[in-house]
Structures are given as structure tokens and as C-alpha cells.
Chains A and B, each alone.
Chain A
């Protein structure tokens, strides 16, 4: 399987060691943590009803159950400013006492990775305690006559249309992916969700689309069965060493890097590919991290990591997770750091390339 960019992985490991050796106060390490009678606020920088909100509300009772002292865990929505506002506010206000937790999403990570000047948070300073991956499947209309990724060259120069939420949204990942595949895709922006893209596909307006795993299973699989749509690749997941693996929900479908090899014959060693991997990690493989504020004592961090590890293993959670968590393995305990670094770091050269690319191709001023 493909190794994620080597430099980045080494940097990530180094950062982990650094954080472990002098980033955290050790004095409290032996103290026991007890949250009995406390209320823990889980900040979500999105409004009620969004994907991140559902994720936090689903996890909250299990976190409460497994933290020492069974505190009350509530979700606090702080929406606005494309999730930058709430995250800025958390970083400015939250105390490192274990009573405030932050959950963000790819939409919060992207402005950070792209170097948006209004971002006041630094992921390197927050302390991850859980990372939830997500995934999705890209598909084409059957009428194109493409059965799998190896036949993508059949499309040739024909223009495909993709209904996008915007060049700097999560749809940046498919934008970079289609480019790597050598597809000629026109992106029509201004969709308000992936659901809009699916409708456009069903109307025949869009001729290439992707849906997140749960939406794919409920809404696109019927189209595949009816013979009108063909799945091409899944985004895939990252294992604890940072390698891309097939999506456990779709074990028979190649992941994007496999598809890239099938279509173009090789995996490029380019800045473009590095950029794709950074945004793929941040937007899918490690989309939703839960973090404690900078300076949180080590024993509290340890208590949280243990609680999320226990929660993820809780048979009740496993029975109820359905399509909220999907088949994805939650990164918990000590496995959390590597995935987190992948989601929140980008090679400066790749960042610069993306910024210039977005400016020249899509007039995006960053």
C-alpha cells in the first residue's frame, strides 16, 4: 500500500515525541481524575443538525459513561464564520481543566491548512483525544461506458460536470483528485450540501459525483443496482502508520490511490499529490478530531484517551453506531496522535502550490 508522504510522517512523529517530552506538565500525572458532578461542555463550531453535531451528540453519552466520575456531557453549538468563529473562541476561552472539549471537522481544518489569516487556532497546540474518520465513494453515470478506474481513459477529453460546494470547501479533495486522474471536470459551485450534488447527478446535470458512505449506501446504491451509476473508487482510510487502505465499508472497491495507479499507471511523486494527500487526510481519513485545550494536564488527557478508547469498544456503542460512525475504526488511545498530525499538517510547499492553483484556476483570493 502507498506510504503517505515520508517527510510529513517523520515530522509528525517528531512532533509527537516533542509534545510528549516537554509539552505537557507532568506534575499531575499520578493524580487521579474525577469528574463526578461536573458538566463537560463539548464545543461544536457548527449549528444544530450538522454532521459534526450529530457525531458529538452520538458520542457524548458514551464519553460520559466512561470518564471517571460519570460527568454530564453536553454539546454546545457555537456556529458562524464557517466554523472559524467558534474554534477561535474556544482557543481563546477554554480552560485546561478537562471541562471543555472541542470537536472540529474538515471545514475547520481546511482554512487552517490553507493559511486563512482569520484563523486564530493552531492545531499543533491542541491535544487530540479522539479522531473519527469518514469516507465516501466517487461514481459516474453508466452511460459513459466506464466499468472501473482502469477504463477512465475512455472518457478522453470529454468534459465532466461536478456539482461542488466551493473550491475551498471539503469539495477541494475531489477537485484535486479529479485533476490527478487527468479528468477534464468543470466544477459548478454554490451547492449547499452533497445532497444537492446527488440531485444534480440524478437529473443528469452533473456527470461525476461523490457521496459520503452513508448517503452512498442509502441513495446511490439503488442507482447502481438499477444500472444507471457505476462506482469508481472510494477515498480510502489511513492506517495507524499513515498508509492508505481500502474503505472497510467498500472492501471490493479500489481506493483513490489504487484507482490513480489503474488509470495513469503510476503514483506520481509530485507536489500536487502531496497536496491531495494532506487535504484527503484532513477531509476524510481524519475528518473529525476531538481535542482538549493547550496545557491540559497529562492525567486529564490520559483519562480522556482512556474514556474514548473504552467508549469505542463499548458494545452498546457498537450496536447503535449504525451509519453515524459507519464501519470506520475510531482512532483512540495512543493511536490518535499520528492520524491527528496527518489531518492537521501540510508541507509548506504543497500549501503554496494549492493557494496558487486556487487563485489562478478559480480566482480564489486567500
Chain B
């Protein structure tokens, strides 16, 4: 054993190994800072170079990249309100409000130090756990995974803000959108409208961007200022580190949670940030401002997602089962360089030294990555002081680029736009978007694992000891979260959707219409599933539709009553059900900017992505940002160059428009 340790350590400290690791770290930093580009894009960039490299250098490079991504993607989550990847969606909830308040520096340094804690904790834990990981992983069957998914759903309670009805309705909406596509049991197609694009379901990347990023962009454009409302970054670098130190136990708990979830194949990194966030909300004592810039809302998910990245290596290495898209590419790369993951990776007589090299590279890369992020952040953070009308077109282009990574088709753009519209309305009417995302992320897991658990163990599956333990934990955490403590004004909750008092509307019609439309969607989903041949395929969407419809009634009835009262001359009413951020707007609403987005997508459909980008960029900078022709040309050239480099490096085809459809042969790259 000692020999194994020493031999891994010797490999670790060679100059060559550290050099390749640093290359990976630097690339990961760039990919991470660009919003919406995550592990899959980063690993895809590396893949062509891996083949033919010496195995340990290749592994060092990949681990360097994987280690820094959950750290560097924090930049866009905190500074721009755009989830840097699916593992840092929850960071947006409090990180972005902090940046808006001008506390970007503090939020970033807290996030980075928490990330490092998580990364280091993950590596240390893995060193010990790798030997007993097999039985641990095997003890989580479909029954336990289902209970874990329910644990995740139970977080909706604390993520619902002041109105549980809206929380449940939003969650059900997420769940129902998550059932689109081929059903897990008999393969029936649900709400796919016979389209090939929809049979594999909506992509999480697109849903995350649509739900969080587009509404933020539109709102920031409307406010017509820089992201940081004070125009400052703040100087809280040390404050941030102190914050992490003050919340050290929270950070460690979330790291443990992250490492465990990462280690169990089947749940995946997109849930872990929400679990950690919900945990922070439930267990934090004293006055909290979750959803409006509570630093603990940054520390919890950031420590968890780094630990998760480490944990995810275990099933990949020991079972050859990748838990995420980036792990799938990591696995493929290992096979390409002649390494076959499997039980031998935990065998001291065989490849255990390689496993340890990987784990410790992860630890070192985390430290190097954190240092680089801290060094870079003052410059990156300056972005938040730029006038947003200049910044926004870049964001729109980068987001659309990130979205079409999913299937590389024009349909990705349409899906992004549609989800973005849902996001805008959820935000406007105070339906908690976190609850929606939790539902979407867990839809497949809840359905698949329930069906499998029943098939394997019968309906008594929740009585399996570990499943039962998770069930008890779920009940406890819900009780813990809803209990009012002495001195607390209200139970722990998150107000992610703004100030309720300014949003009481005199005219509730827009809200009522929205509630009715969502309710109608549930009705549609119910009858769509009704048509399916297999009972197993329809039972889940139909149940969700019923729950969603009831929740819509809970939301809609008070709204109707309030409207009636107001139109009868009464005072503004409706409690938390009455919420409309645009109730007192004076700027004509978001439509002007939604129109720009629609225009951009329409242009892509006509001219293809690249030409559309150029036209959109020139027009937007001239018409909205009111820059000079020269500035506008320079900005456009910059954006075009960035996209050209990315598509070239990833060897991607940009989405086609009608132009390419008919004149493909007479066009040259990048126009085709």
C-alpha cells in the first residue's frame, strides 16, 4: 500500500505531469469563464489531442480541466447571472444578487475558497473511500436512488418562497417538461409532436439558460445600467474568505454531500448544487437573506459541486460507468489511450497507483485553479461595470452558442427561445424558478427509478434499510426546514423572485391568464399521455399533470377572487398569490427586447448562425447601445472571431438557415 502511495506521488510531482495538468487547468479556465460552456465542451476540445499522447500526461491534462471547471464557471454564475454549467445553477440565486449589490469581489472569493475546500475534501475523501467504493456504490440501487430523488424534490418546499402553491405548480411544470420525449419503460413518445428533436427530450443546458439567463438579460437591458448597480466591485476579497471560514462546517457538510452524490452513478452533478443549496437554507440559523444575496447561498453549492466532480471519478474509474456527459468523454479518452477502467483501478497490485495519481492531481489542480481564478477575478469582474447594452449582445451570442451545443441544430435556438419566454413569465409572476428547475432535473430520475424499483423489489421497496433511512432523512430535513426557530420571523425560505410589496397588482388579468395557460398545459399533458399504449408510460405524466392542475387552482382561485374584489372597488388583495413585477411598469415591458431575441433567432433561420450573428450584432450595437459605426464594427468583429475560433476548435457545424439549405455549395466556411 505504501509503495502504491509512493509510486503515485512520484508520478505526480514530475515536471511533465504538472505541465500537462496546468495546460488542462488553463483551458478549463477559459471554457469555464465563457458562460454555458461546461465540461462537455471542454473535454470535446481536448479529445482530438488525447489520442497518441502518453497516458499519464493525457490523464493529467483532462483532470486539470475537470478540476477547475466547477470553480471557473462560477464567474458567469455570479457576475452575469448565467449558470456557468448545470452544476452551478444554484450559485446564481445568491451570487448574482451579491454582484448586483456591488459585492462581486466578496462573492467570488467566497465561492473560490469554498470550491477549493470542496475540491480538497473530495480528493481526501476519495483517497480513503476508493478501496470500499464498490460495496458503497452497489448498495445504492434503484430504490435508494428513487428515495434520493424524492429527497431532492422535497427541497421544493424551501425553494418555493412565500407561496407554496406557486412552488408546487412550478415544480410540476418542470417535471412535465422533463417527461417530454421517449418514456423509460415502454418507449412511448410523450408530447414529442412526432419530432425527432423532441424524442430525446429537452436538454438541461437549454432549460437552464432559458430559465435563468434570458430573463436576467432582458431585465438588465430594461434597467439600462451596468450589472453592478453601484458600478463598483467592492473590495471584499478577504471578507469572502472569512465568510467561508465562518461557514466552514456548512462547506464541509456540503462537500461530503457533493462527494457522495458524485460517487453514486445515476443522480448526477445537476442535482447536487440544489441539494446543497436547500440544505443551507434549511440548516442556517439566524437572519437569512437567501435569494437576495446571502453569502451562504454561494458557499454551499460551490463546495458541493467541486467535491462532486471528484466523486464522479469513482464510478467512472471503478465500474466504467460515467455519471455525466463530461465523464463519458473522459471514459472514452481513457479507452482511446489504452486504459480500461474497471475493478483493476482499485487493486493495489494493478492500477491503484494510477487511481491515486488521478485523485491527487485533482487536489493539486484545485489549488492551482483557485489561485488562477483569484488572480484573474479583478479583471473579469470589471465586466460587471460595463454598460449592459454593450455587454448584452455578447451574452446573447455566447448563450445561443452554448445552447446549440446540445444537438447543433436550429431547433436548439427555438427551444431556448420558448423556455426563455417561460422563464420571463415565471420571474414576472413570482413562480419560483428554482422549483421549476429541480422538477425538470429530477423528472427522469423520479420516473425511471420508481418504475425500476417496483420492478425489482415490488411496492415494498421503500422499506429497504438504506431507502428507509433516506426517507427518514427527507422527512427530518423538511421538518427542520419548516420549523420556526425562536427569534425567526418566518420559516426558512428563499425569496428568489424579488420584493413582494412592489409587485402587488391592481389588474390581475395577466397573472390569471398565465395561471390558466399553465393549467391548460397540464390538461394537455394529461390527455396526451392518455393516448399512450402502455400504462407504465402514462402513469407518471398523468399524475404530475393532476398535481400541477391542483396547484394551479390553488394559485389561480385567490387571484380570481382578488380580481373580483378589486374590480368591485375594493383594495388591492390577493396576498402572495398576487405578484406581478411589471404591475407598475412604465417602459412597455420586456417585449422590446424579446423582439430582439426573436429577431435574432429568425435571422438564424434565414441566414444561418454566422451571418445572423453579424447582422444582429451590428444592428443591436448601433440601435440599442448607440455606439459609433467603428465601435460597432470592432465589437462585431470580436464576437465573430470568438465564435469562429470556438466552432473551429470544436469542429462544429453552425446551425443552418434557409440560405445554407439552398446555396450550400456556393458558400464557404464560416458562412455554411
Contact = CB atoms under 8 A, between A and B. Distances in A.
Chain B binds chain A = yes
B138 A203 contact: yes
Interface in B282-340: 319-322, 325, 328-332, 335-336, 338, 340
Contacts of B537: 363
A364 B340 contact: no
A48 B456 contact: no
A156 interface: no
Contacts of A362: 186, 534
B321 A95 contact: no
Contacts of A166: 182, 184, 187
A218 B319 CA distance: 9
B621 to A, nearest CB: 32
Contact of B187 (A74, A88, A95, A167): A167
B554 interface: no
Contacts of A49: 43, 47, 322, 325, 328-332
Given A161-B456, A167-B187, A47 B325 contact: yes
B340 A214 contact: yes
Contact of A218 (B182, B184, B343, B452): B343
Given A48-B329, A95-B665, A323 B340 contact: yes
B567 interface: no
A168 B197 contact: no
Nearest to A53: B332
Contacts of B664: 93
Contacts of A29: none
Interface stretch (A137-145, A187-195, A348-356): A187-195
Nearest to B331: A49
Given A49-B328, A79-B407, A195 B653 contact: no
Nearest to A217: B340
Interface stretch (A54-62, A253-261, A295-303): A54-62
A53 B328 CA distance: 11
Contacts of B51: 57-58, 61
B409 interface: yes
A224 interface: no
Contact of B196 (A84, A195, A363): A84
Interface residues of A, number: 56
A75 interface: yes
A316 to B, nearest CB: 10
Interface string A218-259: 110010000000000000000000000000000000000000
Contacts of B456: 161, 188, 200, 205
Most buried by B among A48, A50, A88, A323: A48
A195 B448 contact: no
A7 to B, nearest CB: 30
B401 to A, nearest CB: 16
A26 interface: no
A236 to B, nearest CB: 23
Interface residues of B, number: 60
Nearest to A191: B452
A85 B409 contact: yes
B460 to A, nearest CB: 14
A218 B320 contact: yes
Interface string B114-155: 000000000000000000000001100110000000000000
A165 to B, nearest CB: 10
B194 interface: yes
Nearest to B318: A219
B200 A82 contact: yes
Interface string A118-135: 100000000000000000
A187 to B, nearest CB: 9
Interface string A59-96: 00100000000000011111111101100100001010
A186 interface: yes
B44 interface: yes
B200 A80 contact: yes
Interface of A: 47-50, 53-54, 57-58, 61, 74-82, 84-85, 88, 93, 95, 118, 161, 166-168, 186, 188-190, 193, 195-196, 198-200, 202-203, 205, 214-215, 217-219, 222, 320, 322-324, 359, 362-365
11 contacts: A48-B332, A57-B47, A57-B51, A61-B51, A118-B196, A167-B186, A202-B138, A205-B142, A324-B335, A364-B534, A365-B533
Given A80-B197, A219-B319, A323-B335, 10 more contacts: A48-B332, A76-B653, A80-B200, A88-B196, A203-B141, A217-B340, A218-B341, A222-B343, A323-B340, A364-B533
